[in-house]
Amino acid sequence: MMLELDDVTVSYGRIEALHGINLTVNEGEIVALIGANGAGKTTTMRAISGTRSLSSGRITFNGEDITKLRADLRVIRGLCQSPEGRQIFPGMTVLENLDMGAYTRKDSRGIAEDLEKVLTMFPRLRERRKQPGGTLSGGEQQMLAVGRALMSRPKLLLLDEPSMGLAPMIIQQIFDIIVEINQAGTTVLLVEQNAQQALSRAHRAYVLETGRIVKEGTGQDLLHDPAVKEAYLGVA
Protein backbone atom coordinates (compact mmCIF):
# COMPACT_ATOMS: atom_id res chain seq x y z
CA MET A 1 0.00 0.00 0.00
CA MET A 2 1.45 3.35 -1.01
CA LEU A 3 -0.82 5.79 0.81
CA GLU A 4 -3.15 5.17 3.72
CA LEU A 5 -5.44 7.62 5.48
CA ASP A 6 -6.60 6.21 8.77
CA ASP A 7 -9.54 7.92 10.47
CA VAL A 8 -8.43 11.39 9.32
CA THR A 9 -10.24 14.37 10.83
CA VAL A 10 -9.56 17.96 9.76
CA SER A 11 -11.14 21.13 11.13
CA TYR A 12 -11.18 24.79 10.21
CA GLY A 13 -11.59 26.47 13.57
CA ARG A 14 -14.74 25.00 15.02
CA ILE A 15 -15.95 23.57 11.73
CA GLU A 16 -15.03 19.95 11.21
CA ALA A 17 -14.62 19.46 7.44
CA LEU A 18 -13.52 15.81 7.46
CA HIS A 19 -15.07 13.45 9.99
CA GLY A 20 -12.72 10.45 9.99
CA ILE A 21 -11.75 9.48 6.47
CA ASN A 22 -10.29 6.08 5.55
CA LEU A 23 -8.73 5.84 2.14
CA THR A 24 -5.94 3.84 0.49
CA VAL A 25 -3.97 4.12 -2.73
CA ASN A 26 -1.96 1.15 -4.01
CA GLU A 27 1.13 1.46 -6.14
CA GLY A 28 0.27 1.74 -9.83
CA GLU A 29 -3.34 2.81 -9.36
CA ILE A 30 -5.37 5.78 -10.47
CA VAL A 31 -7.74 6.50 -7.58
CA ALA A 32 -10.47 9.12 -7.87
CA LEU A 33 -12.20 11.01 -5.10
CA ILE A 34 -15.51 12.47 -6.22
CA GLY A 35 -18.05 14.60 -4.42
CA ALA A 36 -20.14 17.76 -4.63
CA ASN A 37 -19.05 21.32 -3.79
CA GLY A 38 -17.94 21.56 -0.19
CA ALA A 39 -17.78 17.78 0.36
CA GLY A 40 -14.19 18.05 1.55
CA LYS A 41 -12.21 16.98 -1.51
CA THR A 42 -9.74 19.85 -1.40
CA THR A 43 -9.37 19.48 2.35
CA THR A 44 -8.47 15.80 1.87
CA MET A 45 -5.79 16.80 -0.64
CA ARG A 46 -4.43 19.45 1.74
CA ALA A 47 -4.21 16.88 4.52
CA ILE A 48 -2.26 14.54 2.25
CA SER A 49 0.10 17.20 0.87
CA GLY A 50 0.69 18.59 4.36
CA THR A 51 -0.70 22.08 3.84
CA ARG A 52 -3.39 21.48 6.48
CA SER A 53 -2.80 19.63 9.72
CA LEU A 54 -5.02 16.90 11.11
CA SER A 55 -7.03 17.18 14.31
CA SER A 56 -6.82 13.39 14.60
CA GLY A 57 -5.98 10.32 12.58
CA ARG A 58 -2.92 9.16 10.71
CA ILE A 59 -1.41 9.31 7.21
CA THR A 60 1.12 6.72 6.07
CA PHE A 61 3.13 7.00 2.86
CA ASN A 62 5.27 4.05 1.72
CA GLY A 63 5.25 2.67 5.23
CA GLU A 64 6.29 5.92 6.90
CA ASP A 65 4.01 7.86 9.24
CA ILE A 66 3.93 11.32 7.60
CA THR A 67 1.09 12.75 9.69
CA LYS A 68 3.31 15.47 11.11
CA LEU A 69 5.87 15.73 8.31
CA ARG A 70 6.35 19.16 6.70
CA ALA A 71 4.88 19.64 3.22
CA ASP A 72 8.25 20.24 1.51
CA LEU A 73 9.64 17.04 3.01
CA ARG A 74 6.62 15.14 1.66
CA VAL A 75 7.55 16.40 -1.83
CA ILE A 76 11.05 15.02 -1.35
CA ARG A 77 9.52 11.65 -0.35
CA GLY A 78 7.70 11.60 -3.70
CA LEU A 79 4.31 13.09 -2.89
CA CYS A 80 3.48 16.00 -5.14
CA GLN A 81 0.32 18.02 -5.61
CA SER A 82 -0.77 19.92 -8.68
CA PRO A 83 -3.15 22.34 -6.98
CA GLU A 84 -6.68 23.36 -7.87
CA GLY A 85 -6.88 26.57 -9.88
CA ARG A 86 -3.49 25.71 -11.32
CA GLN A 87 -1.46 28.37 -9.55
CA ILE A 88 1.27 28.60 -12.12
CA PHE A 89 3.63 31.59 -11.99
CA PRO A 90 2.11 33.96 -14.57
CA GLY A 91 5.15 36.22 -14.99
CA MET A 92 7.59 33.35 -15.50
CA THR A 93 8.05 31.54 -18.80
CA VAL A 94 6.80 28.02 -19.37
CA LEU A 95 10.35 26.68 -18.98
CA GLU A 96 10.92 28.64 -15.76
CA ASN A 97 7.64 27.32 -14.38
CA LEU A 98 8.71 23.75 -15.19
CA ASP A 99 12.11 24.34 -13.56
CA MET A 100 10.36 25.44 -10.38
CA GLY A 101 8.77 22.00 -10.20
CA ALA A 102 12.24 20.48 -9.80
CA TYR A 103 13.29 22.77 -6.95
CA THR A 104 13.73 19.92 -4.49
CA ARG A 105 16.07 18.02 -6.84
CA LYS A 106 19.78 18.32 -7.46
CA ASP A 107 20.29 15.72 -10.22
CA SER A 108 20.62 18.08 -13.18
CA ARG A 109 20.82 15.21 -15.67
CA GLY A 110 17.58 13.64 -14.40
CA ILE A 111 15.92 17.06 -14.42
CA ALA A 112 16.92 17.61 -18.08
CA GLU A 113 15.55 14.17 -18.97
CA ASP A 114 12.26 14.83 -17.24
CA LEU A 115 11.96 18.24 -18.89
CA GLU A 116 12.34 16.57 -22.27
CA LYS A 117 9.68 13.98 -21.31
CA VAL A 118 7.25 16.68 -20.20
CA LEU A 119 7.78 18.71 -23.39
CA THR A 120 7.22 15.57 -25.46
CA MET A 121 4.07 14.75 -23.53
CA PHE A 122 2.79 18.32 -23.97
CA PRO A 123 3.85 19.58 -27.43
CA ARG A 124 1.87 22.77 -26.77
CA LEU A 125 4.18 23.60 -23.90
CA ARG A 126 7.23 23.04 -26.08
CA GLU A 127 5.85 25.47 -28.68
CA ARG A 128 5.19 28.03 -25.97
CA ARG A 129 8.22 27.35 -23.78
CA LYS A 130 9.51 30.96 -23.87
CA GLN A 131 6.10 32.52 -23.34
CA PRO A 132 4.99 33.81 -19.90
CA GLY A 133 2.74 31.28 -18.16
CA GLY A 134 0.05 33.92 -17.69
CA THR A 135 -0.46 34.20 -21.46
CA LEU A 136 -1.43 30.53 -21.85
CA SER A 137 -5.02 29.37 -22.30
CA GLY A 138 -6.81 27.65 -19.41
CA GLY A 139 -6.11 24.18 -20.81
CA GLU A 140 -2.47 25.01 -21.44
CA GLN A 141 -2.08 26.36 -17.90
CA GLN A 142 -3.52 23.11 -16.57
CA MET A 143 -1.02 21.17 -18.69
CA LEU A 144 1.73 23.39 -17.30
CA ALA A 145 0.58 22.72 -13.73
CA VAL A 146 0.60 18.96 -14.34
CA GLY A 147 3.96 19.20 -16.12
CA ARG A 148 5.40 21.21 -13.25
CA ALA A 149 4.23 18.58 -10.75
CA LEU A 150 5.83 15.84 -12.87
CA MET A 151 9.16 17.70 -12.71
CA SER A 152 9.47 16.69 -9.06
CA ARG A 153 9.42 13.06 -10.31
CA PRO A 154 6.60 12.11 -7.94
CA LYS A 155 5.83 8.57 -6.85
CA LEU A 156 2.30 9.69 -6.12
CA LEU A 157 0.82 12.56 -8.09
CA LEU A 158 -2.06 14.39 -6.44
CA LEU A 159 -4.32 16.22 -8.87
CA ASP A 160 -6.96 18.63 -7.61
CA GLU A 161 -9.74 19.14 -10.17
CA PRO A 162 -7.65 18.80 -13.31
CA SER A 163 -10.71 19.39 -15.50
CA MET A 164 -11.92 22.56 -13.77
CA GLY A 165 -13.03 25.27 -16.16
CA LEU A 166 -11.93 23.43 -19.28
CA ALA A 167 -13.80 22.68 -22.51
CA PRO A 168 -14.91 19.04 -22.99
CA MET A 169 -12.30 18.29 -25.67
CA ILE A 170 -9.47 19.61 -23.51
CA ILE A 171 -10.81 17.60 -20.56
CA GLN A 172 -10.51 14.43 -22.69
CA GLN A 173 -6.91 15.35 -23.51
CA ILE A 174 -6.00 16.03 -19.90
CA PHE A 175 -7.45 12.68 -18.81
CA ASP A 176 -5.68 10.88 -21.68
CA ILE A 177 -2.44 12.37 -20.38
CA ILE A 178 -3.25 11.33 -16.81
CA VAL A 179 -3.67 7.73 -18.01
CA GLU A 180 -0.41 8.03 -19.96
CA ILE A 181 1.45 9.34 -16.89
CA ASN A 182 0.03 6.46 -14.86
CA GLN A 183 1.04 3.88 -17.46
CA ALA A 184 4.56 5.31 -17.38
CA GLY A 185 4.73 4.35 -13.69
CA THR A 186 3.29 7.18 -11.60
CA THR A 187 0.51 6.42 -9.13
CA VAL A 188 -2.27 9.03 -9.25
CA LEU A 189 -4.85 10.27 -6.77
CA LEU A 190 -7.24 12.76 -8.27
CA VAL A 191 -10.09 14.82 -6.97
CA GLU A 192 -12.81 15.63 -9.46
CA GLN A 193 -16.24 17.13 -9.90
CA ASN A 194 -16.33 15.62 -13.38
CA ALA A 195 -17.38 12.22 -12.07
CA GLN A 196 -17.98 10.76 -15.52
CA GLN A 197 -14.38 11.24 -16.66
CA ALA A 198 -12.85 10.46 -13.29
CA LEU A 199 -14.76 7.19 -12.80
CA SER A 200 -14.26 5.99 -16.34
CA ARG A 201 -10.47 6.45 -16.04
CA ALA A 202 -9.86 5.41 -12.42
CA HIS A 203 -9.08 1.90 -11.18
CA ARG A 204 -10.85 2.66 -7.91
CA ALA A 205 -12.85 5.54 -6.52
CA TYR A 206 -14.34 6.98 -3.35
CA VAL A 207 -17.43 9.13 -2.97
CA LEU A 208 -17.17 11.90 -0.39
CA GLU A 209 -20.29 13.52 1.07
CA THR A 210 -20.12 16.27 3.71
CA GLY A 211 -16.81 15.09 5.09
CA ARG A 212 -17.49 11.35 5.02
CA ILE A 213 -16.66 8.57 2.57
CA VAL A 214 -20.08 7.11 1.72
CA LYS A 215 -19.09 4.70 -1.04
CA GLU A 216 -16.07 3.05 -2.59
CA GLY A 217 -15.52 0.63 -5.43
CA THR A 218 -13.94 0.18 -8.81
CA GLY A 219 -14.41 3.08 -11.21
CA GLN A 220 -16.67 0.89 -13.35
CA ASP A 221 -18.82 -0.23 -10.39
CA LEU A 222 -19.44 3.34 -9.32
CA LEU A 223 -20.06 4.46 -12.89
CA HIS A 224 -22.96 1.99 -12.99
CA ASP A 225 -24.20 2.51 -9.43
CA PRO A 226 -27.76 3.94 -9.55
CA ALA A 227 -27.25 6.32 -6.59
CA VAL A 228 -23.97 7.62 -8.00
CA LYS A 229 -25.57 8.03 -11.42
CA GLU A 230 -28.37 10.07 -9.99
CA ALA A 231 -26.27 12.27 -7.73
CA TYR A 232 -23.12 12.77 -9.78
CA LEU A 233 -23.68 11.76 -13.39
CA GLY A 234 -26.86 13.69 -14.03
CA VAL A 235 -28.91 10.60 -14.99
CA ALA A 236 -31.67 8.97 -13.01
Which positions lie near ligand ATP, rule CB under 6 A? 12, 15, 17, 35, 37-43, 193
Closest to ligand ATP by CB, 164 vs 170, is 164
Least separation in angstroms between residue 235's CB and ligand ATP is 21
Closest to ligand ATP by CB, 13 vs 63, is 13
Q: Which of 1, 31, 15 is CA-nearest to residue 204?
A: 31
Least separation in angstroms between residue 81's CB and ligand ATP is 13
Closest to ligand ATP by CB, 143 vs 195, is 195
With 0-12 / 13-18 / 19 or more C-beta atoms within 10 angstroms meaning exposed / middle / buried, residue 68 is: exposed
Least separation in angstroms between residue 15's CB and ligand ATP is 5
Closest to ligand ATP by CB, 42 vs 67, is 42
Least separation in angstroms between residue 35's CB and ligand ATP is 5
Least separation in angstroms between residue 32's CB and ligand ATP is 13
Q: Report the distance separating Cα 116 and Cα 150, nearest Å.
A: 11
Report which DSSP code applies to 93: B
Element (H, E) at 189: strand 187-192
Q: Report the distance separating Cα 99 and Cα 212, nearest Å.
A: 37
Report which DSSP code applies to 17: E
Q: Report the distance separating Cα 12 and Cα 19, nearest Å.
A: 12
Closest to ligand ATP by CB, 12 vs 226, is 12
